Amino acid sequence: MPRYVPANSLESPRFTGVRTFMRLPFAQTTADVDFAVVGLPFDTGATWRVGTRFGPEAIRSMSAMLRPYHFAHDVNLFDHLSGVDYGDAAVVPGFIEHSYEKIEAFLQPLHEAGVTPVALGGDHSIVLAELRAAARKHGPLGLAQFDAHGDVWDQYFGHKYTHGTPIRRAMEEGLLDGSRVIQVGMRGPLYEPHDIQQARDFGFEVILADDARALGTAQVVEHIRRKVGGGAAFLSFDIDFFDPAYAPGTGTPEVGGFSGADGQQLLRGLTGINFVAFDVVEVLPAYDGPGQITALLGANMAWEMIALLAWRRKPHPRPLSSG
C-alpha cells in the first residue's frame, strides 16, 4: 500500500485544505516516494508576457479536481504509486543562472533517490536546469517536447539564457541525445526558417502543427515512440502546444494549436517509454480568465504523466498502441 496518497475527497470536500497538487501530502522527503510534484516558479526568462511564477499555484488549485482512477489505462494511480507535493525550488527572480543552480540542487536528490519529478513551471527556460539534474544521473536523454516553439534560439540580446534558448543550450551541454529528440506542434510566425532547420540539424525530428494535424494523433504517437526509443527520456509539455482557445493563460500563445483531447490522446499513447522526468510549463494564470481552464488543462497533463508511471507498474502492461 503506497505511503503517500491524496486526501480522500469523500471524507473532506475537494475545496478544503491547503492547496497541494491533487491533495497529496506536502512532504520534502524521498523515502517511500515514487514521484514528487515540484513547483519551479521562475519566469525571468520570458520575452513577452510574464507571470508564470504563479503557474504552480494555479495548477495546484485546479488539481483538486483530479480523481485517482484513469479509465483509459484502467488503473488507479495510487494502487501503484506513492507521491508527494515536494514544494517549490527557491528560485531567485531576476537572476536566471542563480536560479538554475537552485533548481538543479533542488531536483538532484530526487533523481538520486529514484523519485520521478513532475515539475510545474515557470517559463520554459527552467527545462535547462531540469535536464542538467536528470542527465547527471541518467546521461544524455531522449526528449519528447510538446510546444508551439522549438526553443532552440542561440541568444536574445546577447544573453544565452531565456525561454527561447534552453534546448540549444542543452545540446551544447551534452544533456540531450539529439537522435532521440522529437518536437511536436511548432507553428506561428517565425523570425526566419532557420528556427526549424536548426533543430533538424541537431538530429531532432520536428513535426509542425499542420503536419501533426494531417498525420493524426495515432500516427504522431508512433513517431514519438520510434524516435524516443527505449532509453531514459524527458517529457516536456509547454502549455502553448494547445490552441489559445484551450489555453489562453500562457505567455506566447500561437493560433492554430491543438485541443485538450489531442493532448490527452498523445500522452496516453506514450505508455512504456522510460521517462525519468516530466514537466508542464508556461501556465500563466493572470491571462487565464475566471474559469482558469489553462491551469485545469495543465493539471490534467501532469495527471496523464503520473498515469504513465502508474501504467508501467501495473501488472501485465501491454502498449496501448498495439492493443
* Binding to a copy of itself, residues 45-64 (CB under 8 A): 45-51, 53-54, 57, 60-61, 64
Which residue, 172 or 210, has its beta carbon nearer to a copy of itself? 210
C-alpha cell belonging to residue 210: 499542420
Asked if 2 is part of the footprint of a copy of itself (rule: CB under 8 A), the reply reads no
55-63 and 293-313 helices cross at what angle (nearest 10)?
70
Binding to a copy of itself in span 182-211, by CB under 8 A: 187-193, 195-196, 208-210
Residue type, 96: I
Distances (CA, A) of 137 to 33, 130, 225, 251, 280: 18, 11, 22, 31, 21
Query: Does residue 315 interact with a copy of itself by CB under 8 A?
Result: no
Helix pair 293-313, 260-268: axis angle to 10 deg: 10
User: Judged by CB, which is closer to a copy of itself: 161, or 204?
Assistant: 161
User: Which of 23, 33, 34, 44 forms a contact with a copy of itself (CB under 8 A)?
Assistant: 44
Smallest gap from Cβ 247 to a copy of itself, in A, equals: 8
In the bound complex, what is the minimum distance in angstroms from residue 153's beta carbon to a copy of itself?
9
Q: State which residue, 176 or 296, has the beta carbon closest to a copy of itself.
A: 296
Tell me how far apart the alpha carbons of residues 220 and 132 are, in angstroms, rounded to a whole number.
27
Position among 2, 231, 248, 272 found at the interface with a copy of itself (CB under 8 A): 248
Tell which phi-psi region holds residue 52, choosing left (phi > 0), alpha (psi between -120 and 50) or beta: alpha
Nearer to a copy of itself, 167 or 186 (CB): 186
Q: Which is nearer to a copy of itself, 34 or 43 (CB)?
A: 43
Query: Grid coordinates standing for 32?
Result: 517511500
Residue 239 near residue 297 (C-beta atoms within 8 A): yes
The verdict on 320 binding a copy of itself (CB under 8 A) reads: no
160 binds a copy of itself (CB under 8 A): no
Sign of dihedral through CA atoms 132, 133, 136, 139?
Answer: negative
Instruction: Give yes or no for residue 98 binding a copy of itself (CB under 8 A).
Output: yes
Please, which residue, 26 or 136, has the CB nearer to a copy of itself? Answer: 26
**Spatial CB neighbours of 194, under 8 Å, sequence gap ≥ 6:** none
Q: Tell me how far apart the alpha carbons of residues 176 and 151 are, in angstroms, rounded to a whole number.
A: 14
Is 214 a binder of a copy of itself (CB under 8 A)? no
The rounded radius of gyration (Å) of the Cα atoms in the chain is: 18
Sole window of 109-117, 177-185, 229-237, 244-252 interacting with a copy of itself (rule: CB under 8 A):
244-252
The only residue of 121, 185, 253, 269 in contact with a copy of itself, by rule CB under 8 A: 253
Binding region for a copy of itself (CB under 8 A) out of 113-121, 132-140, 228-236, 260-268: 260-268
- Judged by CB under 8 A, the residue of 5, 68, 185, 278 near a copy of itself is 68
Decide if 167 contacts 152 (C-beta within 8 A): yes
Distance CA 62, CA 41 (A): 16
Looking at the Cβ atoms of 140 and 253, the one nearer to a copy of itself is 253
Residue carrying C-alpha cell 481552464: 293
